[in-house]
Amino acid sequence: MATVSQNFMKLFRGSSGRTPADAPDVAQKLTRRSSGLGELARLWESETPLCVLDLGSTSPSNIRFFTERSHKIYSEDLLVASTEAHLVTKDEQGNVVLDSRRFLADNLVYPAAHFDVVLCWNLPDYLDESLVRPVMGRLWSVLKPGGMLLAFFHTKDAGPDSPCYRFHIVNKDTLEMQRIVLRRETRRGPTGAVHTAVSDGFRLQRVFNNRHIETLFRDFASIKFFLARDNVREVLVVR
Amino acid sequence: MSAPLSADLAQIGKSVVIKGELSGSEDLYVDGQVEGTIALKGNSLTVGPHGQVRASVEAKGVVVQGKLEGNVQASDRVELRKSAVVTGDISTQRISIEEGAYLKGKVDIQGKSEKAAGK
């Protein structure tokens, strides 16, 4: 059985040099320890119900984890939402971008200062460039003062095809990671046969360096980095 | 997939479209389209795999296999099957969510005492 650190390396090294034969299976789940999640753990024991926003794919484990502790969990998959065709537009230079105003009119619509914790996971690395700053601005506004946001960032060693994962909380400092495979709509081909096109998930859009991350969260009160051995930085910011 | 046959089960088939207020005292299986409100206080609602419900729902139990847009208040339990696509807030005592289900909204688990207090 692979150790946790071996799993780390396998997951975040990206696809460079990897053959389809040793690519993770769709259903395969790998575990990793998360220092950032561990830092948040003391909050989960709070007797006051917390409002938690999970921005990853719908995770039954996460919903169970929080509801068992009497917290309220909100689930919103922003990566999937960003694939809506009606968001595509052009900027002043004629470049194809996503309409961030429209995106924020449909998503992350919550009262100001509503959440105690936002679980951002690896969203900033995979979200379209035109949405990253507007989304982070909105997240700042929906977090309570003193509220915390956890995000993961690849380091420069990650390849562009680094697989995108969904994160399931196992316990206070352990996550299960499951590769995301997008399912497209089923269509009938010219011969009448039914085809289901399946893409390989989301592509890594960029790699932030520390300065970029600090700039991204410049409106927040504090920022804390946790370096892991798997080419990932965990970042915990406090509003 | 066909709905389970039962004497106390009303069914809305795939080709049926309903707009308005739906209420009743028997279980309801929706495999068509419903828009409005659904109130089945002591009974259960099942949204079938072809069902498209755009309504606020109040029921004892809610099982979703298709698409549901609207807030759900269940006095007992909510089940989201793997093909479920739900947009709305869920308030219930118990919930089960299968791997693959999609949820955009809040999950609020209410204890019996909270329900009684009307919180």
Please tell me whether residue A175 adopts helix, strand or coil conformation.
strand
Between CA A149 and CA A220 the distance in angstroms is 10
Average pLDDT on A122-142 reads 95
Number of domains in chain A: 1
Q: Which domain holds residue A234?
A: 4-238
Tens digit of each residue's pLDDT, chain B (119 residues):
555 555 578 999 999 999 999 999 999 999 999 999 999 989 999 999 999 999 999 999 999 999 999 999 999 999 999 999 999 999 999 999 998 899 999 999 987 655 555 54
CB contact under 8 Å between A73 and B107, yes or no, is yes
Q: Compute the nearest-CA separation of B111 from chain A (Å).
A: 9
Q: Are B34 and B54 in contact (CB under 8 A)?
A: yes
Chain A partners of B104 at a C-beta cutoff of 8 Å? 75-77, 81
CB contact under 8 A, B102 and A63: no
Q: Are A124 and A150 within 8 A, CB to CB?
A: no
Token representation of residue B95: 């919930």
pLDDT value for A184: 52
Residue A231 vs residue A115, higher pLDDT: A115
The Cα of B6 is separated from the nearest Cα of chain A by a number of Å equal to 31
What CATH number does the domain containing A177 carry?
3.40.50
Q: Which residues of chain A make contact with B96, given a CB cutoff of 8 A?
A: 60
- pLDDT for res B93: 94
ipTM rounded to 2 decimals: 0.82
CA distance A185 to A183: 7
pLDDT level of residue A104 (50, 70, 90 thresholds): very high
Helices (H), A59-128: 60-68, 78-81, 100-106, 123-126
Q: Does B112 touch chain A (CB under 8 A)?
A: no
Both structure tokens of B115: 């329900």
Region A208-221 average pLDDT: 94
Share of chain A above pLDDT 90, in %: 57
Candidate ranges A2-6, A24-28, B53-57; pick with highest mean pLDDT: B53-57
Cβ contacts of A70 on chain B, cutoff 8 Å: 109
Instruction: Give the number of residues written for chain B.
Output: 119
Q: Give the least confident one: A24-33, A169-178, B3-12, B51-60.
A: A24-33
| Cβ–Cβ < 8 Å for A150, A120 | yes
Residue A104 carries which side chain, given as an amino acid letter? L
Q: What pTM was estimated for this model as a whole? A: 0.82
Note the pLDDT tens digit of each residue in A39-77. 999 898 888 899 999 999 999 999 999 999 989 999 999
Dist CA B16 CA B31 (whole Å): 8
- What is residue A168's predicted lDDT score, i.e. its pLDDT? 95
To the nearest whole Å, the CA of A8 is away from the closest chain B CA by 23
Distance set, CA A80 to CA A53, A56, A183, B19 (Å): 16, 9, 11, 29
Q: Identify the residue among B109, B110, B112, B113 best suited for mutation to test binding to A, counting A beta carbons within 10 A and taking the highest.
A: B109
Contact B107/A at CB under 8 A: yes
